[in-house]
Structure 1
Amino acid sequence: MNNQSNIPTSENAIVDVQGIADSRRIAIDKVGIKAIRHPIRVKDRSVGEQHTIGLFDMYVNLPHDFKGTHMSRFVEILNQHDREISVESFGLMLEEMVQRLDAQSGYIEMQFPFFIDKAAPVSGVRSLLDYQVSLIGEIAGGEVQTRIKVVVPVTSLCPCSKTISDRGAHNQRSHVTLTVLINDFIWIEELIDLAEQEASCQIYGLLKRPDEKYVTEYAYDNPKFVEDMVRDVAARLEAEPRISAYIVESENFESIHNHSAYALIERDKR
């Protein structure tokens, strides 16, 4: 005998397993999806806008009495916006996420490569240089906070090596990382400029021989310890009213050691 009574006749008849009660009574701080790619649009100070690819992490909290969250809704939220998400729509997407998932708090991190067209210092030859940028949004109790994180590759030259050496000084490529809580609009390029101006020298995608001579001598004339880098950048961030809190890090990938030098300053100006 064919028993048809156990066969769902509509979508509404399918059991929502995630929504059933959970007896362990352990809340989850963050649950969601990681590393989903989606096209985005980002404001560009020089050309107005650039198109790139965002790598998204999207999480909400889960109360102790629910078994799971609805993972498909995170993807739906991404795809219900314009094909290319903009930075301006980021906060709205965060609010929509917690509403649709009946959550009290939410977190979205959007990582993307950001390109700047740079001119070499002497020859003027132009090339693109990429920077790793993240937009980090959190919402709790209806309050949205947005942070921008920028990883800026630069050159650092050791003051000690310059002082004690008769010929030259060791230098290295370094990463200066800024994570800032903003209270007003700020260009990504402004944060990049700030870090590059406090390094021994900035770097370029393409250099001719006169440019290479220039950047080598410029770094030699502007030596910086890893401690100098974070202090000088922090002083600039302290003076910027659009930034409410910040973390500045510097990692020097040492050329004469098999380890890095590292320093961090964290401040909340509120």
Structure 2
Amino acid sequence: MNAPERIALLPDVQAQEDKRDLPINAVGVKGVRYPITLRVGTRLLPTIATLSMTVGLPAAAKGTHMSRFIEALEAQAEALDQAGFKRFLFAMLQRLQAQAGEIDMRFPYFVRKSAPASGIQSQLDYEVCWQGTVAEDGQYAFWMHVTVPATSLCPCSKEISAYGAHNQRSHISIGARLTTEMAVEELIAVAESSASAEVYGLLKRADEKFVTEQAYDNPKFVEDLVRDVALALSREPRVSDYRVEAENFESIHNHSAFARIVHAGCAMPSAQ
């Protein structure tokens, strides 16, 4: 007996019927690290992604076929842009014979930035997550999440102090449901333009002076950060729903300041 014949004789437990009459919203694999290539315009950007891949399971099905998620990932050979990511999700559903499902793909994304005074260039990393979901009715939704480091300077500290003001590094997190494609850099720019100042991988003394003074002239509470980002997203026609969070890692406290604004007309997945 050859190998295919032996495999054919093995019982398929997952394919058995389940009698508890309970459908499962999402079942699959989580925390899968895998090399991927992003297509950004004409550029190909290799990176390492962490993926969560799930499908909905009907009440009568005992289990899903977990190996098929990895098979779908192995079969995904093309460089991914947002349109390719959508094709990847529907290919996974077809392989799993599922009506609904989700792929959550988190990856580091590097942007080459020029320092504001010297113009010297360096790379800065951002956390990015692409989420695609397909509902039972076949409707597709795409969310892009970015976490952006920034500088914020306290308006109260500036107002009450004879000289100086305390500032801190902030994380601005945006989750946006997109109706059409939007570059990662564009969503990052929304966050950075709403902060007291941007952060950079490399600064010379003239740049440090520029950034310090820019932040001093542009003080922001954590509340200001989320409101300014939310206003910018509300004016963006490609964004239908959004979730904005800001966390200030306080320089004069042993705790963070935090704020959130959510505008959602539909169910919003949160980044893993």
- Could you state the TM-score of these two structures normalised by the residue count of structure 2? 0.91
Q: How does 1:116-155 map to 2 (within 5 A)?
A: 116-140=111-135, 141-155=137-151
Are 1:59 and 2:54 an aligned pair? Answer: yes
Paired residue for 1:98?
Answer: 93
Residues 123 and 52 from structure 1, CA distance in 2 versus in 1: closer, same or farther, beyond 3 angstroms? same
In structure 1, give the amino acid aligned to 2:238: R
Separation (CA, whole Å) in 2 of partners of 1:9 and 1:127: 57
Distance in 1, matches of 2:183 and 2:96, equals 32
Match of 1:226 in 2: 222
Give SS of 1:10's match. Answer: helix
Determine the C-alpha separation between the residues in 2 that align with 1:265 and 1:212.
Answer: 31
Counterpart mapping for 1:190-269 below 5 A: 190-268=186-264
Question: 1:24 Cα shift?
Answer: 2.5
Query: How far is the alpha carbon of 1:166 from its aligned partner?
Result: 1.1
Go from structure 1 to structure 2 and tell me whether the alpha carbon gap of 1:83 and 1:91 turns closer, same or farther (over 3 Å shift).
Answer: closer
Q: Secondary structure at the match of 2:130?
A: strand
Deviations 1:17-67 (A, max 9, x none): 11111233222211100111222222446x733221111100011122222
Q: Post-superposition shift, 1:97? A: 1.8
Whether the aligned pair in 1 keeps the contact of 2:233 and 2:239 (CA below 8 Å) is yes
Work out the number of aligned pairs and report it. Answer: 263
Structure with higher Rg: it is 1
Query: Does the 8 Å contact 1:120/1:206 carry over to 2?
Result: yes
Aligned amino acid, residue 24 of structure 1: R
Structure 1 CA distance, aligned partners of 2:23 and 2:99?
Answer: 12
Cα offset for 1:93? 1.6
Q: Distance in 1 between matches of 2:119 and 2:247?
A: 29
**Secondary structure in structure 2 of the residue aligned to 1:189:** helix
Q: CA 1:240/1:10 → structure 2, altered by over 3 Å: closer, same or farther?
A: same
Residue 161 (str. 1) matches residue 164 (str. 2)? no
Distance 1:157 1:269 in 2: 33
* 1:69 aligned residue: 64
Asked whether the 8 Å contact 1:39–1:85 carries over to 2, the reply is no
Local SS of the residue matching 2:230? helix
Write the letter of the residue equivalent to 1:97.
M
1:21 to 3, 17, 21: 17
**What SS does the aligned partner of 1:194 have?**
helix
What does residue 114 of structure 1 align with?
Answer: 109
Paired residues of 2:28 and 2:64 also in contact (CA < 8 A): yes
- Contact 1:149-1:179 at 8 Å conserved across structures: yes
CA contact (8 A) 1:150 1:177 kept: yes
- Secondary structure of 1:66's counterpart equals coil
Q: What is the CA–CA distance in structure 2 between the aligned matches of 1:259 and 1:44, rounded to whole Å?
A: 38
- AA aligned to 2:153 is L
The amino acid that maps onto 1:120 is A
Cα distance 1:103–1:9, how it changes in 2: closer, same or farther (>3 A)? closer
Asked whether the 8 Å contact 1:35–1:57 carries over to 2, the reply is yes
Displacement of 1:214 in angstroms is 1.1
Tell me how far 1:190 sits from its aligned partner.
Answer: 0.7
2:47 is equivalent to residue 88 of structure 1: no
Q: Distance in 1 between matches of 2:79 and 2:34?
A: 7
Conserved in 2, the CA contact under 8 Å of 1:172 and 1:255? yes
Deviation at 1:257, TM superposition (A): 1.2
Q: Per-residue displacement from partner, 1:159-213 (whole Å, max 9, x unpaired)?
A: 0011011121111110111111111111110111111011000000011111111
